Amino acid sequence: MSMSVLPRAADAALFGNRFAIEEVPTKEFPVDGMTAVDAMRLVSEDLALEGDPARNLATFVTTWMEPEAQRVIAENLHRNFIDHAEYPRTAEIEQRCIRMLADLFHAPGDTTGARTQGSSEAIMLGALSLKWRWRKAREAAGGSTSSPNLVFGGDVHVVWEKFCRYFDVEPRIVPLRPGKYTIGPEDVAPHVDENTIGVAAVLGTTFTGHKDDIVGINDLLVRLKGERGLDVPLHVDAASGGFVWPFLYPDTPWDFRLEQVHSINVSGHKFGLVYPGIGWLIFRDRAALAPELVFEENYLGKTDATFTLNFSTGSAMVLAQYYNFVRYGRAGYAYIMRNMQTNARVLAEKLQAMGRFELIGADEEQLPLVAFRLTGDQPYDEFDIAWQLAAERGWMVPAYTLPPDAQDVTIMRALVKQTLSREHVDTLARDLEEACATLAKKGGAHESERRKIVTGSGH
């Protein structure tokens, strides 16, 4: 009995994946399409070559959400957030989130804000409001508006420098130094003058997880207002810390409890526990938002007031943020943050017990992470350890140098997130010790390996 030979395409359709032996499209726009199953498998198999997000201790961005939250996201990916006329409940949910965050950050009364793609957009908008309100005040006083400046430390995210370049503002950057990786009032004072549109302070730096002396900077600005008539607002970049400090350090003032704090940004997709991208900008009160930045536009028959750099964007992450707020509440967020903090402290203790590492500011208020560096004379460095950990065990633990003038200081940072269990912490500690033992035997990473090492603090 003869058997017919099926064409190769038919074999692939019947038995498996056509790209098992075919090259995938990479350069030219495909002439023909493919089945949905083939397209799904092509993309999935490409991504299988990437790192495991559960072992990515570099990124602050959320890598896991509950199945119910994922369902909310999946069911709303087709909903355009900006279409307020068609989707008024989505717009209302955004406003609920803004009001809840204003409450969390101790806003003194009725306020306003906006959802953004992340903290980068929120910072751009917040800093624009600082510039425009400064310009209006200078014009009213008959002063020049030609030379605005913005004061911040070297511990900020790069978006602050981007803002200054894109919107023609002089950046007055306070340099760091070995042993001092945040800024305080004594650093800020020499840089503030009548052309200062604002000061930016960080709550939870990406480098070491600590906060600037926000209380001290606020007190300085209050004094300058009374003594010199300089009313300089303070913006708090709480991208990472805005969902940590309210739950781990609720008695520490950093937010609208401080007089000169006019605006705060926070990333929902970091410790807000939502997938990227969602950020929030919250103002102290409505007067803190420059009204000229609010754009009245008629779209699809409804007049809306918009305050964003983007227009069309998905609703899913706004809805996912609201899901988290009502799902966890203060008690749930506090429980999750305490768990992460507990595991961070366990990891810190294990690293210290190895006798090879120095912890960075472990006794200070800090994000749930461990920042550490090598001590003593070793035949390998932090970059070698990062490479060995990734090569041997797939862990992504960043090694990086700090900003000027602390550029000669190299540290590592392990971010402890919701999915890093106690067992994972124990395993990571063992893997770190084994990586160091391997490097000691081979005298550090090979030069060919060092050329492949990725440096950077991760965001």
- Give the C-alpha distances (Å, rounded to integers) separating 85 from 116, 161, 187, 299, 310: 19, 36, 48, 8, 18
Amino acid at 23: E
**CATH number of the structural domain spanning residue 301:** 3.40.640.10
CA dist., res. 303 & res. 306, Å (int) = 10
The answer to whether position 348 is within a domain reads yes
CA dist., res. 206 & res. 400, Å (int) = 11
Q: For residue 240, give the DSSP letter.
A: T
Pair 247, 359 in one domain: no
Position of tokens 């391997």? Answer: 438
2: pLDDT strictly greater than 70: no
408: pLDDT strictly greater than 60: yes
21: pLDDT strictly greater than 90: no
pLDDT digits (tens, 9 = 90+) for 204-218: 999 999 999 999 999
The answer to whether position 287 is within a domain reads yes
Q: What is the average pLDDT across 362-389?
A: 95
Neighbours of 223 (CB within 10 A): 13
- Comparing 33 with 153, the larger pLDDT belongs to 153
Quickly state the pLDDT bin for 190 (edges 50, 70, 90). very high
pLDDT digits (tens, 9 = 90+) for 265-295: 999 999 999 999 999 999 999 999 999 888 8
The answer to whether position 278 is within a domain reads yes
The answer to whether position 45 is within a domain reads no
Structure confidence at residue 12 (pLDDT): 72
Pair 146, 235 in one domain: yes
Whole domain around residue 210: which residue ranges? 70-325
Pair 210, 286 in one domain: yes
**CA quadruple 446, 449, 455, 457: dihedral sign:** negative
Q: What is the average pLDDT across 216-229?
A: 97
User: For the chain, give me the number of helices (H) and strands (E)?
Assistant: 13, 13
Pair 75, 178 in one domain: yes
Residue 437 φ then ψ, to 5°: -65, -40
For residue 341, which of 368, 381, 322 has the smallest C-alpha distance? Answer: 368
Structure confidence at residue 317 (pLDDT): 96
Q: What is the average pLDDT across 441-446?
A: 84
5: pLDDT strictly greater than 60: no
**CATH number of the structural domain spanning residue 354:** 3.90.1150.160
Whether 150 contacts 166, CB under 8 Å: no
Looking at the structure of the chain, the number of domains it has is 2
pLDDT digits (tens, 9 = 90+) for 409-441: 999 999 999 999 999 999 999 999 999 999 999
DSSP element (H, E) containing 134: helix 119-140
Amino acid at 207: F
Long-range contact pairs involving 349-352 (C-beta distance under 8 Å, separation at least 24): 350/425, 350/426, 350/429, 351/429, 351/432
Q: What is the mean pLDDT of the chain?
A: 92
pTM check: above 0.75: yes
Structure confidence at residue 22 (pLDDT): 83
For residue 238, which of 252, 222, 224, 219 has the smallest C-alpha distance? Answer: 252
Pair 131, 159 in one domain: yes
Whether 282 contacts 263, CB under 8 Å: yes
Q: What is the average pLDDT across 322-351?
A: 98
Angle between helices 67-74 and 316-354 (to 10 degrees): 140
Pair 132, 280 in one domain: yes
The answer to whether position 53 is within a domain reads no
Quickly state the pLDDT bin for 453 (edges 50, 70, 90). low
- Comparing 24 with 121, the larger pLDDT belongs to 121
Neighbours of 31 (CB within 10 A): 6
The answer to whether position 237 is within a domain reads yes
Domain end, chosen from 291, 325, 359, is at 325
Pair 75, 223 in one domain: yes
459: pLDDT strictly greater than 70: no
**Residue 376, CB-side half-sphere exposure with 13 Å CA sphere:** 8
pLDDT digits (tens, 9 = 90+) for 161-188: 999 999 999 999 999 999 999 999 999 9
Ranked by mean pLDDT, the top range of 43-57, 257-271, 443-457 is: 257-271
Domain end, chosen from 264, 294, 325, is at 325
Pair 200, 230 in one domain: yes
Pair 306, 393 in one domain: no
Pair 107, 218 in one domain: yes
183 alpha-carbon distance from chain centroid? 19
The answer to whether position 74 is within a domain reads yes
Pair 350, 279 in one domain: no
CA dist., res. 299 & res. 269, Å (int) = 29
Structure confidence at residue 371 (pLDDT): 98
93 alpha-carbon distance from chain centroid? 23
The answer to whether position 21 is within a domain reads no
450: pLDDT strictly greater than 90: no
Pair 365, 319 in one domain: no
What residues contact 90, with CB distance under 8 A and at least 6 apart?
A: 79, 81, 84, 315, 318, 319
Domain end, chosen from 325, 357, 382, is at 325
Radius of gyration of the chain (CA): 25
